[in-house]
Amino acid sequence: MTTRNQSSCDESEMELFSYLLRLGDNALILGQQLGASVGKGPELEEEMALANFALDYIGQARLFFGLAAEIEGKGRNEDDLAFLRDGIDFTNVLLVEQPNGDFAQTIARQFFFESFYLLQLRALRHSENSKLAEIAAKAGKEIQYHLRHTQQWLVRLGDGTVESHRRMQAGVDRLWQYTGELFEIDDLDRWAIDAGIGADLAEIRQTWLAEIKSAFVEATLEMPAGEWMAGGGKQGRHSEHLGYLLADLQFLQRAYPGAAW
Amino acid sequence: MYTQGLDQKSDAVDPQRDDEVRLRQFQARIDQEEKIEAKDWMPDAYRKTLIRQISQHAHSEIVGMLPEGNWITRAPTLRRKAILLAKVQDEAGHGLYLYSAAETLGVSRDELIDQMLTGKAKYSSIFNYPTLTWADIGAIGWLVDGAAIMNQIPLCRCSYGPYARAMVRVCKEESFHQRQGYEIMLTLSRGSDEQIRMAQDALNRWWWPSLMMFGPGDADSKHSAQSMAWKIKRFSNDELRQKFVDVTVPQADYIGLKMPDPDLRKNDETGHYKYGEIDWEEFMQVLAGNGPCNRERLESRQHAHAEGQWVRDAATAYAEKQAARQAAA
Ligand SMILES: [Fe+2]
Ligand SMILES: [Fe+2]
C-alpha cells in the first residue's frame, strides 16, 4: 500500500514536471524567436518592444523550468532543461516555432499565441499547485501587456494600407493551421485538468474564438477558412524549424560541455 | 559617448544670426554654469555642433545593438540571455532619448536617421568590429560601455540641458552594462582553458579599438577648444583616454588577462599607465568605411528600414483613418 502511494505520487510528479516543461518550452521558443528579431524591427519603438517581450518570455521560461527541475529533483537546473534536450524532447506547440517571416507573420503568430496564452495563464492562477499559480499570475500581467500591443498592430496592419491588409491576412491564413493544437487535449492535459493543476482547454477555446472574431472584425480581416489543423508539437513531433533554432540556442552548452558561464 | 570626440567638417553657419552682443551674453551664461534650454537663443554653430554630436551618439546606440544582438540567440545560459536582452533593450532606449534630445534643437528623427542610413552621418567606429565569440559580449560591456562611461559622465554636466539630462539617465544604465560585461570576463577567466583563451582573444581584439573610441590625440583634434569653451566637452580626448586606461588595466590584471600592448608600463611617479602607439591608420580606415563590418552594419539598418516601410505606412494610414472617423462621429 505504502509502495503504491509512493509510486503514484512519483507518477503525478512526473506528470507535473512534463506539464511545466510544456509551458516552459512555449515560452523559451517564443522568446528565442523574438530575440532573433532584435535589430530587424520596423521602427525603434518596436525594436524595444521586441527585446522587451523576448526578455519577458525568457524570464517566464526560467520560472517554469526552475519549478520543473525542483519537482523532478534529479539535480538538473533551468539551463540543463533548456540547453541539453534534443528536439524530440521539446513539447512546445508548433505555432511558436514558426519563423518570424515578415512583420505581419510575426504579429499573426504573437496574436494567436498570446490571446490563447493569456487565457491559459488566467486559468492557471487557480492551479492547485500554488507555485505554478504564482508564476501564472506574474506572467499573466506581462502577457496582458504584450497582447494589447500585438492586437493594436493586428488592427493597424489589417485596417492600414492595401498592402498591409494583404500581408496581415496572409499571415493569419498561413498560421491558422497551428491554432488547433493549442486546444488539443491529450492524456497529460486530461491529467492536469482532473488534478486541478492545469487549464481546461475546452473552456478556454470558446472565449478565445469569440475574442479572435471580434479582433478580426476590428482589423477588417476575414476569419481563416481552413479546417485542417496541424499537431504533434506537444508530443515532440516538430517542424524542421525547431532543429535550427535549437542549434543556435544550444551551441555553447554543446560545444563546451560542463563549462560555467 | 560614442561620438568619438571627432571633429568633422563644420556645417555652414548663418553669420547673421550670431550677433556679438548675444554671443557674449550666451557665453556669460555658460561660464556661470547655467543650462541652455531648447527655447533659449543659441549660436547657430553651437546648435549644429550639438545636433551632430547628439545624433552621432544616438546612431551609435542603434548600430551598437547589432554586434551584441548577434549573440542573443546563442547566449550560453538563460540568465545571460536575459541580461543581454535587457542591455540591448536599454541601448534602443538610449537611442530614443538621444533622438528626442536632438529633436529639441529643431531637427527631426526621420531626418537624422536618414543621414545615418545614407552614410552621411557617422556612428562610433567601434561597432564596425565583429563579435566572434561569446567573450566578445563580455569585452564589449567591459571595454566599450566602460569607455562610453568615461566620455559620458562629464556630459551629464554639458551646458545643453536636454542633452545633460538624457546623459544622467544613460550613464546609470551604462555603468550597469560595464559591470555585467566585466562579470562575463571574470567568469570566463576562471573557467576552462578554452574559456580563458576566448576571453584573452576578445581582449586582444577589442582593446585597441576601445582606445580609439576617444578620438584622435589632442594634437590632431582641432575644434575641441570651441567645444570646451561651450562646455559641451570638459576633458580632452587624451585626458579621457588616459583615465580609461588607468581604470581598466588593473581590472585586466585582477582577472589575469594580459593587455595586448608590450609598451604598457605604469609610471610610478605619476601613477598613470603609459600605453603604446595607437594605430591611427586603422582608425582612419574604419572611419572611412573600411572596417571589418562597416558594410554589414549599414546594410542591416538599411534592410530593416526598407522592410519596415510598409509597416510604418500602415500605421500612418490607420492613424489618418481613425482621425477621419473621429471627426465624422
Ligand atoms: Fe548605451
Ligand atoms: Fe550600454
Say if the Cβ atoms of B92 and A48 lie within 8 Å: yes
The residue written with cell numbers 574559456 in the block is: B195
- Best of B60, B77, B80 to substitute, by most chain A Cβ atoms within 10 angstroms, is B77
Q: Contacts of residue A61 in chain B, CB cutoff 8 Å? A: 78
Q: Contacts of residue B192 in chain A, CB cutoff 8 Å? A: 256, 259
Does the CB of A29 have a partner CB in chain B at under 8 Å?
Answer: no
Amino acid at A127: S
Say if the Cβ atoms of A252 and B317 lie within 8 Å: no
Compute the distance between CA of residue B107 and CA of residue B116 in angstroms, rounded to an integer.
14
- Of A57, A32, A51, nearest to B88 (Cα)? A51
* Topology of domain A9-221+239-255, CATH: Ferritin (1.20.1260)
Q: Is residue A3 predicted with pLDDT exceeding 60?
A: no
* Residues near A227 by beta carbon (within 8 Å), at least 6 away in sequence: none
% of chain B residues with pLDDT over 90: 90
* Residues near B33 by beta carbon (within 8 Å), at least 6 away in sequence: B157, B159, B231
* Residues near B227 by beta carbon (within 8 Å), at least 6 away in sequence: B49, B233
ipTM of the complex: 0.96
Q: What is the pLDDT of residue A123?
A: 97
Q: What is the grid cell recorded at A49?
A: 518592444
Q: What is the pLDDT of residue B225?
A: 86
Residue range A119-141: average pLDDT?
Answer: 98
The alpha carbon dihedral of B233, B35, B144, B131 has a sign of negative
- Whole-model pTM? 0.94
Q: What is the pLDDT of residue A2?
A: 41
Compute the distance between CA of residue B54 and CA of residue B249 in angstroms, rounded to an integer.
29
Residues paired with residue B265 on neighbouring β-strands, in sequence order = B274
Q: What is the pLDDT of residue B20?
A: 86
What is the CB neighbour count within 10 angstroms for residue B27?
15
Residue B306 CB-density burial (10 A; 0-12 exposed, 13-18 middle, 19+ buried): exposed
Span B30-75, pLDDT tens digits: 999 999 999 999 999 999 999 999 999 999 999 999 999 999 999 9
Q: What is the pLDDT of residue B329?
A: 84
Please give the full DSSP string across B248-304, using - where no structure is assigned.
HHHHHHHTT---S-TT-EE-TTT-PEE-----HHHHHHIIIIISTTHHHHHHHHHHH
Q: What is the pLDDT of residue B146?
A: 97
CB A215 within 8 A of CB A151: yes
Show contacts of A134-141: CB within 8 Å, 24+ apart. A135/A60, A135/A63, A135/A64, A135/A67, A138/A63, A139/A27, A139/A56, A139/A60, A139/A63
What is the CB neighbour count within 10 angstroms for residue B25?
11
Would you call A160 helix, strand, or coil by DSSP? Answer: coil
- Best of B109, B127, B177, B318 to substitute, by most chain A Cβ atoms within 10 angstroms, is B318
What is the CB neighbour count within 10 angstroms for residue A45?
12
- State how far the alpha carbon of B125 is from the alpha carbons of B136, B206, B237, B253, in Å: 16, 12, 15, 27
Residues of chain B with pLDDT under 70: 1-18, 222-223
Centroid of ligand 1 to alpha carbon of B264 (angstroms) = 29
Please tell me which residue, A112 or B226, carries the higher pLDDT value: A112
CB B98 within 8 A of CB B61: yes
Q: What is the pLDDT of residue B1?
A: 45
Span B285-305, pLDDT tens digits: 999 999 999 999 999 999 999
Cα end-to-end distance, chain A, whole Å: 46
* Residues near B280 by beta carbon (within 8 Å), at least 6 away in sequence: B216
Q: What is the pLDDT of residue B41?
A: 94
Domain boundaries, chain A: 9-221+239-255
What is the CB neighbour count within 10 angstroms for residue A16?
24
Picking from A41, A58, A156, the nearest residue to B304 by CB comes out as A41
Please give the full DSSP string across A171-214, using - where no structure is assigned.
HHHHHGGGSHHHH---HHHHHHHHTT-S--HHHHHHHHHHHHHH
Residues paired with residue B274 on neighbouring β-strands, in sequence order = B265
* Residues near A21 by beta carbon (within 8 Å), at least 6 away in sequence: A64, A65, A68, A81, A91
Q: Contacts of residue A160 in chain B, CB cutoff 8 Å? A: 313-315, 317-318
Amino acid at A208: W
Amino acid at B308: G
Q: What is the pLDDT of residue B8?
A: 52
